[in-house]
């Protein structure tokens, strides 16, 4: 997706100065997908915020256009911040966005396409009466932003929410309009939660309770068949949280089923923020896109000339348990697949590795399922260990368990000194199984330090001792009986990258599956510096940014691994190289036959 554009820049050393942030106003209009996004065309850091604009016929290959909005007017001179689009009856698109005005107030503005007969809607005209909504009394001037996609209620009036904050209570203010020019705020917000601070980029939409199809944002509650998702981004930690609940349009009230705490559900437990969903009428699905920020420094962004990616678009729907969402890369990714490889029923003994060869490991789509045939007496999980991210940090991929860690080593160097480990561990607590999923940017499942040689001239080696193909010099499993030991110099475990000064935080979350009944599945998309992982069929997602120095291009490797003491079976593995999408080419070069 958009990351490919930026990686291209790295590879071709083209100097571009730009920063890419929140996706805005995605929509499908007259046969074309539109995506706008927060963008600084003049530099790789935050500032000069425009609405950049790209269009696509397939959500994979994108044609860049001129920015749709530039900060030019008194009501948006300090930035055209995030917002939404809606297609009104009569097939008329409207854009609502936050402008930061000349006094740094966040106000809400409107714009419409200049020429509806232009298939790409290249030019947008700001409404002469902007701003259409001002900061409410009692709200700080820069705590009022990001209007959502509007929805229409039975009374024929449109509704919309805006993210805000009062005294550290996060608020979704609710508005109503008939004409998009005159807006009335309801006395009580749609929802608010104490202690959460500013809410950014809210999203509010229905999901079917009994179908994986998407629902148009304006469908309220036909025969009790939908629940409503309220998503909000917390400025204080750059995480997107969501609640599932019921929306009562008569009382303009939202009742979430889960109380909001910081362990509330998240779309993604890694780096994934300012997301935005839209209903795709073509395939009747709800699609989610998000900004994935860098894990390197501002100085790095300046040096490379760009910062920020968008995640690969995901479909989302309500899980069968009706308690959480499920996300999955959109099916169009298959257009980029090549070199399919497959494997079945491969046993991974405790402490073993299996290299996945035959695909481009630096740009890949990998699906793997693990079967635990003898799942007896998993390790007990201390009841006080309630924070999965902390468990993943304490028990990184190098820490042996019983069932796990097992999973994938992505963007790994041949000698494993660089690697990003995405893995599972299975525990039990109070007679229940617990499945933990981790994405470990600092893991160190690497060569053993002590070598035992049967040869007369011992020498240290960097060969991988877990590989069954190269066990010649070692009797590593039988160290106790070894008489000829040598302690080699410690290999440097450089983990996801040899570079220092990067954010290598380990991420983790639980996966709500029963490993006795279900296989434990993982799908991971790798694209140079982004690793997006979907555990348990998309119930738990973790995205990370990594910057290997050795494991790049042809020198990147992919392994399945098991560092638990019990064996696991890879019941199925399918992997593909993923071709580059065409996203930074002008329209003329894309023909229908391409």
Tell which residue, 474, 470, 409, 472, has the closest CA to residue 439.
409
- Contact positions with ligand FRU (CB under 6 A) in 468-497: none
Minimum CB separation from ligand FRU for residue 294, in Å?
13
Q: Which residues of 196-205 are buried (b: 16+ CB within 10 A; e: fewer)?
A: bbbbbbbbbb
Minimum CB separation from ligand FRU for residue 22, in Å?
5
Per CB under 6 A, 144 contacts ligand FRU: no
Q: Tell me the CA distances in angstroms from 15 to 44, 67, 150, 305, one per residue in order.
A: 11, 19, 39, 6
- Contact positions with ligand FRU (CB under 6 A) in 245-284: 274
Give 145 or 227: the residue with its C-beta nearer to ligand FRU.
145
Minimum CB separation from ligand FRU for residue 93, in Å?
20
Tell which residue, 373, 335, 321, 392, has the closest CA to residue 536.
321
d(CA 391, CA 342): 32
Give 22 or 280: the residue with its C-beta nearer to ligand FRU.
22
Which residues, in sequence order, are CB contacts of 553 under 8 Å at separation 6+?
362
Q: For residue 394, is the peptide bond before it cis, meaning its omega torsion is within 30 degrees of 0?
A: no
Per CB under 6 A, 18 contacts ligand FRU: no
Per CB under 6 A, 171 contacts ligand FRU: no
Give 196 or 496: the residue with its C-beta nearer to ligand FRU.
196
Give 213 or 238: the residue with its C-beta nearer to ligand FRU.
238
Answer positive or negative: Cα dihedral of 98, 35, 534, 526.
negative
Q: Tell me the CA distances in angstroms from 140 to 104, 145, 169, 195, one per residue in order.
A: 10, 11, 12, 16
Minimum CB separation from ligand FRU for residue 302, in Å?
18
Q: Which residues of 119-140 are buried (b: 16+ CB within 10 A; e: fewer)?
A: ebbeebebbeebbbbbbeeebe
Question: According to CB under 6 A, which one of 98, 148, 362, 496 is a site residue for ligand FRU?
Answer: 98
Minimum CB separation from ligand FRU for residue 448, in Å?
44
Give 146 or 396: the residue with its C-beta nearer to ligand FRU.
146
β-bridge mates for residue 85, sequence order: 95
CB 397 within 8 A of CB 391: no
Q: Which residues of 402-441 are buried (b: 16+ CB within 10 A; e: fewer)?
A: bbbbbbbbbbbbebbbbbbbbbbbbbbeeeebbbbbbbbb
Minimum CB separation from ligand FRU for residue 283, in Å?
28
Question: According to CB under 6 A, which one of 200, 365, 396, 418 is a site residue for ligand FRU?
Answer: 200
Entry field: residues in the chain: 594
Give 40 or 563: the residue with its C-beta nearer to ligand FRU.
40
Minimum CB separation from ligand FRU for residue 163, in Å?
7
Tokens representing residue 249 in the block: 């349009």
Question: According to CB under 6 A, which one of 50, 53, 105, 145 is a site residue for ligand FRU?
Answer: 145
Q: For residue 4, is the peptide bond before it cis, meaning its omega torsion is within 30 degrees of 0?
A: no
Which residues, in sequence order, are CB contacts of 204 under 8 Å at separation 6+?
148, 149, 151, 161, 172, 190, 217, 228, 229, 230, 231, 247, 254
Minimum CB separation from ligand FRU for residue 131, in Å?
15
- Per the annotation, the verdict on 146 as an active-site residue is no
d(CA 589, CA 594): 9
Tell how far CA 271 is from the center of its chain.
Answer: 6
Give 19 or 352: the residue with its C-beta nearer to ligand FRU.
19
Per CB under 6 A, 49 contacts ligand FRU: yes
Question: According to CB under 6 A, which one of 3, 4, 20, 22 is a site residue for ligand FRU?
Answer: 22
Give 146 or 440: the residue with its C-beta nearer to ligand FRU.
146
Give 200 or 365: the residue with its C-beta nearer to ligand FRU.
200
Give 108 or 360: the residue with its C-beta nearer to ligand FRU.
108
CB 497 within 8 A of CB 547: yes
**DSSP conformation class of 487:** E
Question: According to CB under 6 A, which one of 19, 82, 85, 540 is a site residue for ligand FRU?
Answer: 82
Minimum CB separation from ligand FRU for residue 239, in Å?
12
Per CB under 6 A, 203 contacts ligand FRU: no
Per CB under 6 A, 201 contacts ligand FRU: yes
Question: According to CB under 6 A, which one of 146, 203, 296, 365 is a site residue for ligand FRU?
Answer: 146
CA within 13 Å, CB half, 123: 5
From the list 8, 22, 216, 296, the catalytic residue is 22
Per CB under 6 A, 396 contacts ligand FRU: no
Using alpha carbons only, give the angle 140, 141, 146 rounded to the nearest 5 degrees. Answer: 105
Q: Which residues of 283-297 are buried (b: 16+ CB within 10 A; e: fewer)?
A: eebbbbbbbbbbbbe
| Size of residue set near ligand FRU by CB under 6 A | 12
Question: According to CB under 6 A, which one of 23, 27, 37, 38 is a site residue for ligand FRU?
Answer: 38
Minimum CB separation from ligand FRU for residue 146, in Å?
5
Which residues form the interface with ligand FRU (CB under 6 A)? 21-22, 38, 49, 81-82, 98, 145-146, 200-201, 274
Which residues are known to be catalytic? 22
């Amino acid at each position: 997706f958009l990351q490919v554009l930026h990686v291209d820049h790295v590879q071709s050393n083209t100097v571009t100065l730009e920063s890419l942030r929140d996706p805005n106003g995605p929509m499908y209009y007259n046969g074309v997908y539109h995506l706008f996004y927060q963008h600084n065309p003049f530099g790789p850091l935050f500032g000069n915020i425009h609405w950049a604009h790209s269009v696509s016929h397939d959500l994979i290959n994108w044609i860049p256009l001129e920015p749709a909005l530039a900060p030019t007017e008194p009501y948006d001179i300090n930035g055209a911040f995030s917002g939404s689009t809606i297609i009104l009856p009569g097939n008329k698109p409207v854009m609502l966005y936050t402008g930061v005005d000349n006094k740094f107030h966040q106000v809400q503005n409107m714009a419409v396409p200049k020429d509806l007969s232009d298939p790409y809607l290249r030019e947008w005209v700001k409404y002469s009466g902007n701003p259409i909504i001002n900061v409410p009394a009692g709200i700080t001037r820069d705590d009022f932003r990001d209007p959502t996609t509007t929805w229409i209620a039975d009374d024929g009036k449109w509704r919309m929410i805006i993210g805000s904050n009062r005294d550290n209570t996060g608020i979704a203010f609710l508005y109503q309009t008939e004409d998009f020019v005159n807006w009335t705020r309801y006395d009580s917000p749609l929802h608010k939660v104490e202690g959460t601070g500013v809410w950014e980029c809210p999203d509010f939409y229905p999901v079917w309770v009994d179908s994986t199809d998407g629902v148009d944002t304006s469908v309220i509650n036909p025969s009790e068949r939908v629940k409503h998702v309220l998503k909000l981004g917390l400025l204080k930690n750059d995480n997107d949280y969501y609640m599932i609940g019921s929306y009562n349009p008569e009382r303009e009230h939202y009742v979430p089923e889960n109380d909001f705490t910081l362990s509330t559900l998240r779309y993604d437990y890694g780096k994934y923020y300012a997301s935005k969903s839209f209903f795709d009428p073509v395939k009747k699905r709800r699609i989610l896109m998000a900004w994935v920020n860098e894990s390197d420094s501002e100085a790095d962004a300046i040096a490379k000339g760009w910062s920020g990616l968008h995640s690969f678009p995901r479909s989302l729907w309500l899980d069968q348990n009706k308690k959480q969402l499920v996300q999955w890369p959109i099916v169009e990714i298959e257009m980029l697949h090549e070199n399919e490889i497959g494997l079945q029923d491969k046993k991974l003994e405790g402490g073993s590795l299996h290299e996945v060869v035959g695909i481009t490991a630096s740009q890949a789509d990998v699906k793997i399922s693990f079967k635990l045939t003898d799942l007896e007496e998993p390790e007990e999980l201390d009841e006080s260990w309630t924070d999965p991210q902390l468990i993943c940090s304490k028990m990184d991929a190098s820490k042996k368990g019983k069932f796990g860690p097992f999973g994938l080593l992505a963007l790994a160097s041949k000698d494993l000194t660089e690697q990003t480990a995405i893995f599972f561990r299975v525990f039990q607590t109070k007679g229940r199984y617990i499945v933990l999923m981790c994405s470990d940017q600092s893991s160190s499942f690497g060569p053993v330090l002590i070598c035992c040689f049967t040869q007369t001239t011992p020498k240290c080696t960097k060969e991988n001792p877990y590989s069954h193909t190269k066990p010649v010099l070692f009797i590593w499993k039988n160290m106790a009986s070894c008489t000829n030991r040598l302690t080699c110099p410690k290999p440097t475990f450089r983990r996801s990258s040899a570079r220092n000064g990067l954010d290598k935080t380990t991420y983790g979350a639980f996966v709500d599956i029963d490993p006795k009944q279900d296989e434990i599945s993982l799908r991971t998309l790798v694209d140079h510096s982004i690793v997006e992982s979907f555990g348990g069929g998309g119930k738990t997602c973790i995205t990370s940014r990594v910057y290997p120095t050795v494991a790049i291009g042809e020198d990147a490797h992919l392994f399945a691994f098991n560092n638990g003491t019990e064996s696991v079976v890879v019941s199925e593995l399918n992997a593909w190289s993923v071709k580059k999408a065409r996203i930074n080419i002008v329209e003329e070069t894309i023909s229908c036959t391409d």
